[in-house]
Amino acid sequence: MTYPTPGLAARAGGVALVTGASRGIGREVCRELRGAGRRVFGGCRAPSAEDPSAPFEAVPLDVTDPASVAALAADLTARGVTLGALVNNAGIALDGFDAGIAERTLAVNYFGALAVTDALLPLLADGGVIVMVSSGMGETSCLAPALAARLRAPDLTRAELDRTMRGFVEAVGRGDHERHGFPSSAYRASKVGLNAAARVLARDLAPRRIRVLAVCPGWVRTGMGGPGAPRSVEEGARGVVWAVTAPDAPREGFFRDGAPIPW
Ligand code: NDP
């Protein structure tokens, strides 16, 4: 018996934490999960007490700040929270390309998502779900074939992946990232890393029956996507909510609109 009591799975299944909940896709995912009857914690860098319309219980969270991540885990632990779902949605896409941009982008989109995941894993129920809000820009087709093969290898470890992503930032600083197989886009590299992390976590967390899915929301009209994007936030959030709630959702893979897409 995996759960100490049959009730724990049911209770945890109703609790979700979404990062980057202040606006955009994250806020809409919170709204829809709450509408589906979930208790939803929304991680916000600057939670506002004066936002009664927020569709979540706000918790302070800057995914790049280890103290903030640790404080969130401690707070939820003290409150006796067990999570059924973690949605790593917080993300940035910066203009330009240099080592500073690569470092800042990976700090949020890759290392931030994994720091939150590592810190909250003890609170995630067996049989729960982790959703990485990724992007089609993170397909391994943007890498040189040897690097793509390594990041898709079934024996890839978290340690090797973390080293590879740190290596990207260092290579950008030296100006030889293309020679090492990386794209000239920090955003692409960060989402390639996030997708690889989803594969590694799905394999490593299989004994706990934790599903780990990467989801591309499509091009969405948000602060990041801009006003010219074809999709509304509702359309962008739908596939993320599906990954959390669908009873028949798979246990791993990369999806858009509930259908598998190439890694
Ligand atoms: P927005 O720019 O609208 O929102 C980004 C969210 O991330 C905000 O809540 C922001 O908080 C939060 N955030 C940024 N940095 C941090 C941090 N250090 N710690 C905690 N939260 C942070 O983006 P979208 O809603 O469009 O994007 C959501 C996700 O979807 C991202 O991962 C993005 O890469 C992905 N995506 C988006 C696409 C699009 O077309 N919009 C396409 C493909 C993928 P704050 O308000 O404090 O800045």
pLDDT at 52: 80
More confident residue, 73 or 51: 73
Give the per-residue pLDDT at 200.
Answer: 98
Q: What is the pLDDT of residue 53?
A: 87
Over range 167-171, report the average pLDDT.
98
132 forms bridges with which residues in the sheet?
88, 214
- Ligand 1 first shell, C-beta below 6 A: 19-20, 22-26, 45-46, 61-64, 89-92, 108, 112, 133, 135, 216-217, 219-220, 222-225, 229
Cβ-contact 41, 249 below 8 angstroms: no
Residues 6+ apart with CB under 8 A from 105: 92, 93, 94, 186, 187, 189, 190
Compute CA distances 103 → 106, 168, 263, whole Å: 5, 9, 23
In the predicted model, is pLDDT for residue 5 greater than 50? Answer: no
Active site residue 110: no
pLDDT in tens, 22-40: 999 999 999 999 999 999 9
pLDDT, mean of residues 177-184? 98
User: What does the chain come to in residues?
Assistant: 263
Output 202-205 pairs: Cβ under 8 A, ≥24 positions apart. 202/251, 202/252, 203/154, 203/252, 204/158, 205/121, 205/130
Query: What is the predicted pLDDT for the residue at 4?
Result: 37
pTM of the model: 0.95
Report the alpha-carbon distance of residue 206 to residue 199 in Å, rounded: 11
pLDDT value of residue 12:
58
Do 116 and 124 form a contact (C-beta atoms < 8 A)? Answer: no
Question: Ligand 1 center to residue 42 CA distance, Å?
Answer: 13
Can you tell me the distance from the alpha carbon of 208 to that of 206, in angstroms, rounded to the nearest whole number? Answer: 5
Q: Which residues pair with 39 in a beta bridge?
A: 15
pLDDT over 60 (residue 6)? no
Task: Supply the pLDDT for residue 47.
Answer: 82
Q: What is the mean pLDDT of residues 197-213?
A: 98
